Structure 1
Amino acid sequence: MVDADQTFVIVGGGLAGVKAAETLRAEGFNGRVILIGDEVDPPYERPPLSKGYLTGKEPREHAFVHESAWYAENDVELHLGQPVTSIDRATRSVRLGDGTTIRYDKLLLATGSEPRRLDIPGTDLAGVHHLRRLAHADLLQGTLAALGRDNGHLVVAGAGWIGLEVAAAARGYGAEVTVVEPAPTPLHQVIGPELGQLFADLHAGHGVRFHFGTRLSEIVGQDGMVLAARTDDGDEHPAHAVLVAVGAAPCTALAENAGLALVDRAHGGGIAVDASLRTSDPDIHAAGDVAAAEHPLLRTRLRVEHWANARAGGSTAARAMLGRDVSHDRVPYFFSDQYDLGMEYSGWAPPGTYDQVVLRGDVGKREFIAFWLKDRRVLAGMNVNVWDVTPAIQELIRSGAPVDPEALADPSTPLAAVVPRP
């Protein structure tokens, strides 16, 4: 039973946190809602950081989830620029950096993730960037614009989604770009070698140079500034700036210090939660990048670092905090824009989990859908410059039914007709 005397505290000022606050009010909760973020900016969405805002096509304020007045209008108490330093589960309270203690009846941890760092010489030089926060994007945008004006060089460590999107943005400004990646293709751990080469060709066609099968071993500088980047095969690449895009680590320190159950890093890391996003403490939930949830549809524990997961997870956690019978069973989804290529990916099919890739459409024109199958069941689908098909792709995944690969590959067969009907 939830009443007006209760206090729900949300730690984390990202999309998952603010969507939880929004959902609490939409569901009729009239107790206190306290949203605590360690950044000075109000809650914002992260896709613009590597897309519209970074490229200069969208203003900074477009990243914010709500206008500033929304929080007061909905009686959501914002504590910005104030980290939570500890959780006391016995007294059900959190302590802020200034020593303030706030009691909670229910607590949501939406602490997100932070970029992984490289343990090599030179990472403390000016011109070495990471991209996770709005302040990072502010700095990187100015750097890319300056590189473009001065014919400067950017070296990107990592050919994942962030690395590739920043590479595309940098080329848009006119900067020279080299991407260093230990795998044989971009996005190797996400879409496998079958489709990874497509993105290598896309970027190479726009002037990006790739250096596969190697890692950065040192960033060389002079007078505190970046001059070059060396790789472990002995090569040296000119660089005036370096972006480190080698993944993100979930921010679990608060949960760990509070004694909550965690997931080993070898299995993705994060705070262990059930399908309703409840942690090992029934009064504490977790959502967004930091939550490693039991996924009822995929039958595995999964930690997802994408916009759609944060958006849906925040709402699911809020309803669970209110005592609703809910389950976070959304099909994982993310999107990317690079040059003239737009794509959406639904599902989960890392290398080793599928036995067939089926292509539907014109790969040469980059207008197609790719499907990853296991035992003729669709695990994931990626539509490239083909739109309004995500619901049909997700229905194929949700059905779990075996499909005819030939029908799946045939553009004349509607996707809805591929799913066997009882």
Structure 2
Amino acid sequence: MSAEQTFVIVGAGLAGAKIAEELRARDYAGRIVLFGREEHLPYERPPLSKEYFAGSRMLPDFTVHNGDWYRDHRVDLRLGTEVAAIDRAARTVSLPDGSPVHYDKLALATGSSPRALPLPGVDADGVHVLRTVDDADSLLTAVRRDDGTTARLAIVGAGWIGLEIAASARGHSAHVTVVESGPVPLAGSLGPEMGAVFADLHRAHGVDLRLGASVREITAPDGRATGLALGDGSTVPADAVLVAVGAAPDVALAQRAGLEVDGGVLVDASLRTSDPDIVAVGDIAAAVNPALGERVRVEHWANALNQPAVAAATMLGVDAAYDRLPYFFTDQYDLGMEYVGFAPRDARVVTRGDVAARQFLAFWLDDGNRVRAGMNVNIWDAGDDIRALISSGSAVDPNRLADPTVPLGDVAR
């Protein structure tokens, strides 16, 4: 491929940095321009609500590459720069000042943004979201006390970010209240049975978990948040409020460019969009996954880490397909969990092990008794067997699946 070509990457997070890395690893000799909205070097995001917030890892520990790497690999890294538009006919991206940058191939890795909550008081001082390291620093300043007092944190939403921050904030001795409109945490991700496991976990560690509750407003009589007013008339006093009600894919740039978008940027298994010169990866990519036989969009760190190899190959004209099973993990208090697969909403849950002791496996079965997803909780030698069960597509006997005396490798036989 010509050394005079220019490949542009929009989005300088983990996925964007990894695309640049993969292009150079595949001996692409042309120009690479990487645009990022933040002023920080590209970094991984999961630690923000886990180890970084807990204080066990610092930003350099999860920064993808140091600044010298971009110079040494001839990557034109432009931080603090947001791409305003894409002109597909001219094959240019436009910067806020209107200046164009030509591309021969373009990768979109624009990620996602915290969902807005249309509530009175949401714009008050002391109301936080969590997406960037600056967001994490601001929330940490509000939660971590060195003067012997106890900070009060109110969290709206019991999803992954809300619960991970709750666990880390308890580690800083903060009083934490989590308000969730659903009957259990994580119902949309794990269903009611497994959501109840996380409800019990947080209550056992002193979190005031309010389920089936609505927030009427964030109270801020003097322009600074003082807590929450709930729909039942009760109040939650707080020094800081975290709004953690999910994330929305940043697809506006793709939409304005006329790419096909439906809940995410539509891409095929090679991560190619409706424009053959543009690929999309990470949170925004609604990709056809050959391993699942369906199109999925998942906001998982593993996609940002692994999809770039396929995207880079596609940009270089090499046949490739992204067929990894979706994967994510969480660490909360003494619970470590990994989840792999993609379960339908009506899936049946089968468990093996001691759920009460939070040391078990969980499997999501479709109506044909095929394992569609699996989760290992504080058990660390079952991942390969879980993947094999999902990939086999074979029906299993639910009773044998639940029986810990039957090796997982024998369940589908």
Name the TM-score, length of structure 1 as normaliser: 0.95
* Number of the residue aligned with 2:350: 358
Structure-1 residue corresponding to 2:206: 207
**Cα deviation, residue 141, structure 1:** 1.6
Q: Does 1:397 find its partner at 2:390?
A: yes
Q: Which amino acid aligns with 2:400?
A: A
- Relative to structure 1, the CA distance from residue 306 to residue 148 in structure 2 (aligned partners, 3 Å threshold; closer, same or farther) is farther
Write the distance in 2 (CA, Å) between the matches of 1:147 and 1:303.
Answer: 42
Task: Confirm or deny: 8 A CA contact 2:142 2:239 kept in the other structure.
Answer: no
Which amino acid is 1:58 matched to? R
Q: CA deviation digits over 1:15-63, x for unaligned, max 9?
A: 1111111111111111111111011001000011001111111112112
Q: What is the Cα deviation at residue 147 of structure 1?
A: 9.2
- Amino acid corresponding to residue 359 of structure 2 in structure 1: E
Q: Does 2:285 match 1:286?
A: no
Residues 147/358 of structure 1: CA separation in 2 closer, same or farther (3 Å cut): farther
SS of structure 2 residue aligned to 1:166: helix
Q: Which residue of 1 aligns with 2:119?
A: 120
| 1:79 counterpart residue number | 78
Matching residue's letter, 1:278: R
Name the aligned partner's letter for residue 402 of structure 2.
A
Whether 1:314 and 2:308 are equivalent positions in the alignment is yes
Q: Which stretches of structure 1, 4 residues or more, deviate above 4 A after TM superposition?
A: none
Residue 150 of structure 1 aligns to a residue in which SS?
A: coil
CA offsets 1:164-221 (integer angstroms, 9 cap, x no match): 0000011111111111111100100011011111100000001001111122220011
Q: What is the Cα deviation at residue 419 of structure 1? A: 3.3
Give me the whole-angstrom Cα distance separating, in 1, the residues matched to 2:388 and 2:6: 39
- Report the Cα offset of residue 148 of structure 1: 9.0
CA–CA separation in structure 2 for the residues paired with 1:245 and 1:360: 31
| CA distance in structure 2 between the aligned counterparts of 1:63 and 1:100, rounded to whole angstroms | 33
1:22-421 residue pairs with structure 2 within 5 A? Answer: 22-146=21-145, 149-263=148-262, 269-352=263-346, 354=347, 356-374=348-366, 375-420=368-413
Q: Work out whether residues 52 and 58 of structure 2, in 8 Å CA contact, stay in contact via their aligned partners in 1.
A: yes
**Which runs of no fewer than 5 residues in structure 2 stay unpaired?**
none
1:157–1:215 Cα contact (<8 Å) kept: no
Over 3 Å counting, the alpha-carbon distance change for 1:334 and 1:149 in structure 2 is: farther
Question: What root-mean-square deviation, in Å, do the aligned CA atoms of Structure 1 and Structure 2 show?
Answer: 1.4
1:235, distance to aligned residue in structure 2 (A): 1.9
Q: List alignment gaps of at least 5 residues for structure 1.
A: 264-268
Higher deviation after alignment, 105-114 or 136-145: 136-145
Structure 2 length-normalised TM: 0.97
Contact 1:189 1:350 in 2 (8 A): no
Deviations along 1:368-392, whole A, 9 cap, x unmatched? Answer: 1100111210011010000032222
Q: Which amino acid aligns with 1:166?
A: I
Q: Counterpart of 1:388 in 2: which secondary structure?
A: coil
| Alpha-carbon distance in structure 2 between the residues aligned to 1:341 and 1:113 | 27
Aligned to 2:352, the other structure's residue is in SS state strand
Greater Cα offset, 146-155 or 84-93: 146-155
Instruction: Give the match for residue 266 of structure 1.
Output: none
How far residue 400 of structure 1 moved from its aligned partner, in angstroms, is 0.7
Aligned to 1:229, what secondary structure does the other structure show?
strand
Q: Is the 8 A contact 2:142 2:151 kept in 1?
A: no
Aligned identity (percent) is 55
Deviations along 1:379-417, one digit per CA (max 9) or x if unpaired, are 110100000322221111111111122222222322222
- From the superposition, tell whether residues 25 and 357 of structure 1 become closer, same or farther in structure 2 (CA, over 3 Å): same
Distance 1:190 1:67 in 2: 35
How far apart in 2 are the matches of 1:364 and 1:316?
41
Deviations 1:219-264 (A, max 9, x none): 011322211201223221111111101010111111111111100x
Inter-partner Cα distance in structure 2 for 1:18 and 1:417: 41
Residues 211-220 or 146-155, more deviating: 146-155
The count of residues paired between Structure 1 and Structure 2 equals: 412
In 1: Cα distance, 2:257 partner to 2:200 partner: 47
Pair 1:3–1:412, CA change in 2 (3 A): farther
Contact 1:148 1:173 (C-alpha < 8 Å) held by counterparts: no
